[in-house]
Amino acid sequence: MATIGNGKRPINIAILGATGVVGKELLKILAQRNFPVGKLKLLGSERSKDLYMQFKGKEFPVEVAQEDSFKDIDLVLAAVSADVSKKFASIAISSGATVIDKSSAFRMEASVPLVIPGVNSHALHNHKGIIASPNCTSTPVVVVLKPLSDLFGIKRVIVSTYQSVSGAGTPGIDELEDQVRASLRGDKQKPQVFNKPIAFNVIPQCDSFNKDGYTKEEEKVIQETRKILELPDLAITCTAVRVPVLVGHSEAILVEFDEPASVEKIREILKTSEMIELWDNPDETVYPTALDAAGKDPVFVGRIRKDTSSANGFHLWVVADNLRIGAALNAVRIAEYLLEKKLLRQAVHS
């Protein structure tokens, strides 16, 4: 199939799940980065029909996703559940579109590249019409570990996450806000989105539990990190925790290297990454928080220190906007790379 090269005609785009928090962020980022959008189609569920959304000052209707929704579409940015992605991805591909999917539906399929541009961009050169974008928790982990792995090699990784409610979409945000207001009034609200009250609380569960006691979210971090870093036997474990924060996932990472390292050398390496911003001066209380990362593109790193309990272990505190670099921005960066390298399939236009 023919491909579209940089500098050619504008790209016809469909956003599947346009009214969700990631869908809205996709629209914002496409405008901010001046992506060459031609025809724009906003797709949602029955609940979203009759709605309108703005893009670059113009109003666009939200249409109910149907089998014929992808006619003349070059690129589908999918920000929906795995079930919905599985339903529509093959239809979009058969229509000639390239699909960049944010769900977990295809991430671990051997034939589907799981990509963070700047980390494993090379994997995009072999795509077969669908590309998976990683979990919003895995992405900052891998962005930080990749340059360190290349230099020192990695023996073991322990990740502890502190994840914002926006990781559960608009319902998660609404539940936190509603519970905060109710709690301040002295009222109680029964949880709907989360299994425990989230207001003024910390919940040691993100997603459902597997038989081994790990949650699906923890499994995603483990398996996706291995796939993207191309280290299938990497010793890595994770505990994922939900916290009452609107936007921004925070992560405490303990990494043990194969080769000798130092705090100074780690800082030097991370400073060279265009995707990382170093905030690391504890004496001046300089370290990133979720509020610092919200609305920003970089992965922020601070509190880099030697682990006193292991020979070659180091702690890193990592924070990122889960809706941007963790989701929408990564998807747009994939699209930009496909366009630049002429890897975007061209739909058959009637």
| The residue type at 166 | S
| Cα distance between the two ends of the chain | 16
| pLDDT given at position 347 | 57
The Cα–Cα gap between 8 and 25 comes to 25
User: Residue 87 corresponds to which tokens in the numbers above?
Assistant: 């339903």
The Cα–Cα gap between 112 and 132 comes to 7
**Do 3-134+327-345 and 138-164+202-322 come out as alike in CATH topology?**
no
The Cα–Cα gap between 51 and 61 comes to 6
The Cα–Cα gap between 238 and 236 comes to 7
Specify the CATH number for 138-164+202-322; select among 3.30.70.1150, 1.10.1740.10, 3.30.360.10, 3.30.70.60: 3.30.360.10
Residues annotated as catalytic are 136, 249
Identify the CA nearest to 3 among candidates 349, 342, 350.
342
**What is the fold, at CATH topology level, of the domain defined by 3-134+327-345?**
Rossmann fold (3.40.50)
| pLDDT given at position 346 | 67
| pLDDT given at position 293 | 98
The domain limits of the chain are: 3-134+327-345, 138-164+202-322
| pLDDT given at position 49 | 84
Identify the CA nearest to 172 among candidates 196, 141, 136.
196
| pLDDT given at position 271 | 96
pLDDT tens sequence across 193-246: 999 999 999 999 999 999 999 999 999 999 999 999 999 999 999 999 999 999
Which residue numbers in the chain have pLDDT < 70?
1-8, 346-350
| pLDDT given at position 2 | 44
Q: C-alpha angle 169/170/175, rounded to 5°?
A: 105
| pLDDT given at position 48 | 87
| pLDDT given at position 50 | 86
| pLDDT given at position 235 | 98
Q: Are 291 and 248 in contact (CB under 8 A)?
A: yes
User: In degrees to the nearest 10, what's the CA dihedral of 43, 219, 247, 254?
Assistant: -150
Predicted structure pTM score = 0.94
Strand 130-132 and strand 98-101: the pairing is: parallel
Q: Are 92 and 99 in contact (CB under 8 A)?
A: yes
* Helix, strand, or coil (residue 322): coil
**How many residues comprise the chain?**
350
